Amino acid sequence: MSGEKISVGFLGLGIMGEACARNLLKSGLFSAVHVWNRSPDKASALVSEGALLGSSPADVVSKCSITFAMLGDPDAALQVVFGENGVLQAISAGKGYIDMSTVDEQTSQRIHAAITSKGGRFLEAPVSGSKKPAIDGQLIILAAGDESLYKEAEPAFTKMGKKWMHLGETGAGARMKLVVNMAMGTMLNALSEAMALSDKAGLKQQDVLDVMGIGALASPLVAMKGPAMMSKNYAPAFPLKHQQKDMRLALALGDQLGQSLPVAAAANEQFKVARARGHGDEDIAAVYEATKP
């Protein structure tokens, strides 16, 4: 991505994808930014800002040197590649496809094999971060796969992330993201139980957060999600249903590798309870609702 400007594409315009695509559009680094979303109306804001709307994933890929994707789950990631008018219909020698979705390693490997079989280059690049870091271009990008594509994509990564790293062969990025999100999910459950217990014990929840904030437990997670739990403000920065999906995938990885994950398994059950109670589309802080009878 040096010298003459190239066209890039972005598939999937959810909370995170729209923010990332907008940062690419605003950067001025590219001759055009082509976008696609399963629900076209979600692309209207970006189109009004200068993005070009593609009619399908294949349409976007056909017009771009590098196409990024950020889909909600493995099924969506596979459908965009293998479905009718999908990525695979237009990928060709030299074209790059960078999947920033959080998926399991098997899904990533399957997409990698399909893309490279057509002469394309593949990079998995899941991200650590939520809505505000995505808007601010402060995500952590966990890439693995084709190193030449990684190097070409670095200018784009500078507009989407504060840190990006190449972790090795395809699959390493997927594993890293699941490990990180599994840890976040278990910590979030511990915080929600502490908030619930403090309330039952007659303590002010703000006092609990203040104590945590000046001690060894101080962290951005406590600072962001503690007040959200206290106020029951669950405007989605990272939807709970996606966190529960990541917990499920992490547990599956543990099963595959024979690694016991009892704390993560218990945390996953709480996310499932909150999701069953109708909080799936709300922020991950809504796991607090699972602590109630």
**What are the residue numbers of the active site?**
177
Residue 111, CA distances (Å) to 121, 201, 282 in order: 11, 51, 30
The total of other beta-carbon atoms located within 10 Å of residue 258's CB is 6
Q: What are the φ/ψ torsions at residue 230 (nearest 5 degrees)?
A: -65, -40
134 close to 19: Cβ distance less than 8 angstroms:
yes
8 close to 159: Cβ distance less than 8 angstroms:
no
- Using DSSP's 3-state secondary structure scheme, residue 36 falls into strand
d(CA 51, CA 240): 29
69 close to 80: Cβ distance less than 8 angstroms:
yes
DSSP sequence for 140-161: EEEEEE-HHHHHHHHHHHHHHE
d(CA 116, CA 108): 12
The one-letter amino acid at 206 = Q
d(CA 293, CA 149): 50
Paired tokens of 199: 């309330």
d(CA 262, CA 234): 27
Paired tokens of 176: 């890293």
Paired tokens of 32: 């055009």
Place of tokens 């990564």: 157
Residue 105 bridge partners (DSSP): none
